[in-house]
Structure 1
Amino acid sequence: MKSDRLLSIILLLQTRGLVQAADLAARLEVSVRTIYRDVEALSASGVPIYTERGRHGGIALLPGFRTDVTGLTEDESRALFVLTTRGTHAALGLDAALGSALRKVMAAIPAPHRPAAELTSRRILVDPERWLPRPRPAVDLDVLNSAVFTDRRLALRYRRSGAVEPGNYVLDPYGLVVKAGVWYLVADKSGSPRLFRADRVVEASVIDEPVRRRPGWELADVWRAMSCEAEERRCALRVAVRLHRDALTLLQCLASGRIVGDLVPDGEDWLSAELAFDSVVETRMLLAFGEQLEVLTPPAIREELVRVAASVTSVYTVGVN
């Protein structure tokens, strides 16, 4: 709707100052010509908006002009109150600030939409934690947060997965990311992007040197690139299996995220499926299905499961007559 777009322009200019018309057009997914028509409409309605020509020009509001969020629609008002659990905000020391901010937003929401927003906050809850999560060590984000927001380099003692002793790193941080309840530091090490789990940080200190990030890269860009790379590497090992229908519930509990494509009937009581794994070691979990699951291909996985099963059998047959 045009009214929503006009309000979006005002809010963007309030937060960003001078913005080029092409940037506004890309952000709002309209043409530059439409943006200029919207600017004329805002000016005609009394909004102190102006344009500056030239290479470094753009569109801006006169200094001191502010508006509120009374233009929020009912759906936008409800969306603001569909929040995740407050663990993320608490980890950043923003739990109290979140509650205060929501009270201010509620006061600014148009009166007809407040009941719907309040009801949404009571009826919808987003919990990012998995069922039966593993116990996680306490995470102290203070030093990491300080380096991120002061644009300083970071000295880190960090224990990588499987390492006996922690290593020392000098990093150039981009920011912090929380994924599925786990905090990560995204940083460059010697100009290359790296990911560090916050709960594996042994010690951290801010270095009094400006951060040396790669030009043109922001946190979202680095995270997107690393996520794409991880997805390409992840689940590269495909395993074809034959599964008894009685084991379908167990498959959904233990490996639903590994199922590739659809389950295909294979006889009266059996199904064929393809599962994805990161490594040969991970396929050992298939032994939990006993005789109700058979690996068909690749042969190397069949051999691995035979070897592991024989090893387990030898443990329990020692001393048995």
Structure 2
Amino acid sequence: MRASRLVSILLLLQARQPRTADDLAARLEVTPRTIYRDIEALSAAGIPVYGEPGHDGGYRLVDGYRTQLTGLTRQEAEALFLTGLPAAASGLGLGPVVATTERKLLAALPAELRSHADRVRQRFHLDAASWYHDAEATPQLPTVSDAVWQQRRVRIRYQRWAAPHEATRVVEPYGVVLKAGHWYLVARRSGEFRTYRVARIVEAALLDETFDRVEDFDLGGYWQDYLDDFDSRRHRGEAVLRLSPEGMRLLPQLAEPAIARAALESGIVEADGWIRVVVPVEHPEQAVHDLLRLGPLAEVVAPQGLRDRLAEALTSMLRRYAEVSE
């Protein structure tokens, strides 16, 4: 345990200097007194580590000192090849670079760790695209990702759902997100963060203008807030349904997670064994399409307008099939 911690301290000092005893203790979940002893042990082992006093002080390594020790455990070496980076990197135009890096990393690992890491690569594969959908064409993704890395403004011509259906914008790109096989650009425009689907960017041109990032911006946190807000905006109402026991069991496979969660939380078993639930729905046209997936496993109780629309759709289907059979 201590040997692993000593390696971790060494790698942390190589990554950024200086580091205080309190900082190292918090990261390694030990006391500062333990860090003091560990630093003494590193120094006794010949590692050129020293401490600087003062407000900006801390522990440092002598300039130019690097260790070839990776510090990877067997599980950590295996985990490196479960990140899914090669697939995502291909879309970003970095596939060959990541493949080369992977080969160099494998060559640097001890033989035992190399065999474990390579075995994981042969047994696990990440396919980020959704079922029954091909990956979207995103020819502008490399340009967009370059703008993100270089913190340069980019001019995009973007296809929108609302009129006017095509718009040109100059944006400050903060990051890209891969969600269920779709790439999204998170960018700032007119002081507000916005999200653009990369497949709908028709043209992208890097500008010479750079920009300063908002220091406390958190891409992961923004994306989660965006998803929560997206759900709240598109789920414009609620519907009361009756689900058969089989419908309740299959609901997670037939409906999106928000609907399945709401059904589970609100479900009340009625006398005939069916379950009455309250679930969020989108606009009526989309709600009809979504509810048709449930077929005879569900009945819309309310609102009456949605029940009538679903009845009309079913009547039309029945009429169509009756015409074909005559």
Normalised by the length of structure 1, the TM-score is 0.83
Q: Could you tell me which amino acid in structure 1 is paired with residue 287 of structure 2?
A: T
Q: Tell me whether 155-164 or 172-181 shows the greater mean CA deviation.
A: 155-164
Q: Give yes or no for contact 1:184–1:198 (8 Å, CA) kept in 2.
A: yes
Instruction: Describe the SS at the equivalent of 2:294.
Output: helix
Select which of 207, 221, 224 maps to 1:224. Answer: 221
Rounded Cα–Cα distance in structure 1 between residues aligned with 2:126 and 2:277: 31
Instruction: Describe the SS at the equivalent of 2:102.
Output: helix
Rounded Cα–Cα distance in structure 2 between residues aligned with 1:66 and 1:87: 31
Rounded Cα–Cα distance in structure 1 between residues aligned with 2:283 and 2:47: 60
The structure-2 alpha-carbon separation of the partners of 1:135 and 1:48, relative to structure 1 and needing over 3 Å to count, comes to closer
Q: Give yes or no for contact 1:186–1:193 (8 Å, CA) kept in 2.
A: yes
Rounded Cα–Cα distance in structure 2 between residues aligned with 1:94 and 1:273: 47
CA RMSD of aligned residues (A): 3.1
1:221-262 CA-partner distances (Å, limit 9, x unpaired): 144134225325525555442212454576343215230136
Q: Is 1:283 matched up with 2:290?
A: no
Give the Å deviation of 1:182: 1.7
Q: Tell me whether 254-263 or 176-185 shows the greater mean CA deviation.
A: 254-263
Runs of at least 5 residues in structure 2 that lack an aligned partner in the other structure: none
- 2:312 is aligned to 310
Instruction: Describe the SS at the equivalent of 1:86.
Output: helix
Select which of 288, 298, 321 maps to 1:293. Answer: 298
- 1:71 is aligned to 71
Instruction: Describe the SS at the equivalent of 1:188.
Output: strand
Instruction: Describe the SS at the equivalent of 1:158.
Output: strand
Rounded Cα–Cα distance in structure 2 between residues aligned with 1:6 and 1:179: 38
Q: Give yes or no for contact 2:254–2:294 (8 Å, CA) kept in 1.
A: no
Rounded Cα–Cα distance in structure 1 between residues aligned with 2:95 and 2:153: 27
1:34-82 CA-partner distances (Å, limit 9, x unpaired): 4343322222222112222222223222122112345321111111122
Overall identity of the aligned pairs, in %:
36
Q: Give yes or no for contact 1:157–1:202 (8 Å, CA) kept in 2.
A: yes
- 1:144 is aligned to 144
Rounded Cα–Cα distance in structure 1 between residues aligned with 2:146 and 2:281: 38
Runs of at least 5 residues in structure 1 that lack an aligned partner in the other structure: none
Q: Could you tell me which amino acid in structure 1 is paired with residue 172 of structure 2?
A: D
The structure-2 alpha-carbon separation of the partners of 1:253 and 1:106, relative to structure 1 and needing over 3 Å to count, comes to same
Rounded Cα–Cα distance in structure 2 between residues aligned with 1:164 and 1:312: 35
The structure-2 alpha-carbon separation of the partners of 1:240 and 1:110, relative to structure 1 and needing over 3 Å to count, comes to farther
Q: Give yes or no for contact 1:51–1:60 (8 Å, CA) kept in 2.
A: yes
Rounded Cα–Cα distance in structure 1 between residues aligned with 2:38 and 2:238: 53
Rounded Cα–Cα distance in structure 2 between residues aligned with 1:77 and 1:303: 57
1:87-126 counterparts in 2 under 5 A? 87-126=87-126
Normalised by the length of structure 2, the TM-score is 0.82
Q: Tell me whether 265-274 or 185-194 shows the greater mean CA deviation.
A: 265-274
- 1:259 is aligned to 260
Instruction: Describe the SS at the equivalent of 2:133.
Output: coil
The structure-2 alpha-carbon separation of the partners of 1:32 and 1:151, relative to structure 1 and needing over 3 Å to count, comes to farther
Instruction: Describe the SS at the equivalent of 1:81.
Output: helix
Q: Tell me whether 125-134 or 147-156 shows the greater mean CA deviation.
A: 125-134
Rounded Cα–Cα distance in structure 1 between residues aligned with 2:280 and 2:131: 22
Q: Give yes or no for contact 2:50–2:59 (8 Å, CA) kept in 1.
A: yes
The structure-2 alpha-carbon separation of the partners of 1:22 and 1:244, relative to structure 1 and needing over 3 Å to count, comes to same
The structure-2 alpha-carbon separation of the partners of 1:250 and 1:13, relative to structure 1 and needing over 3 Å to count, comes to same
